Amino acid sequence: MTIEEKKARISQLRRGKKNFEQSAFISIAAACFVVYEIYQAASSNDRPEWYFYLLMGAVTAAMAGIAFWNYRKSKRASAEVEKLIAEIKAENPGEQIPQDTDQRRFF
C-alpha cells in the first residue's frame, strides 16, 4: 500500500469511527425509548408482570449488544489508524499525516 493509499484509508477510518460512535449512542437512546414504550403498554394490558420484565430485559440486552458492537468497531478503527500512522512515519519520517478535523465525539 502506498503512502497516499494509507492516507486515504486513515481518512476513511476516521469518518467510519465517528459513524460507529454515533450508532452506539443512538442505539442506547433507542433502548431507553423502547423500554419506556414497553412499560406504557404493559401497564395498560392484562399481561403478567414477568412478561414486562422479560421483554424489557431482552430489548435492553439487544440494544446494549448493538452499542457494544459499534463501540468495539470504533476502537478497532482507532487502532488501525494508529498502525497506519506508525507505518507512514517509519517509511517517511517527514511525511505530513492528515489531521482529524471533525470534532464530533461520543466516547
Using the predicted structure, report yes or no on whether residue 100 has a pLDDT greater than 50.
yes
- With respect to residue 104, please indicate whether it lies within any of the assigned structural domains: no
Instruction: Judge whether 38 and 57 are in contact, CB under 8 Å.
Output: no
Domain count for the chain, please give it: 1
- With respect to residue 32, please indicate whether it lies within any of the assigned structural domains: yes
- With respect to residue 101, please indicate whether it lies within any of the assigned structural domains: no
pTM value > 0.75:
no
Q: Three-state secondary structure along 10-74?
A: HHHHHHHHHHHHHHHHHHHHHHHHHHHHHHHHHHCCCCCHHHHHHHHHHHHHHHHHHHHHHHHHH
Domain of residue 84: give its range: 3-91
Residue 107: the pLDDT is 46
Q: What is the mean pLDDT of the chain?
A: 77
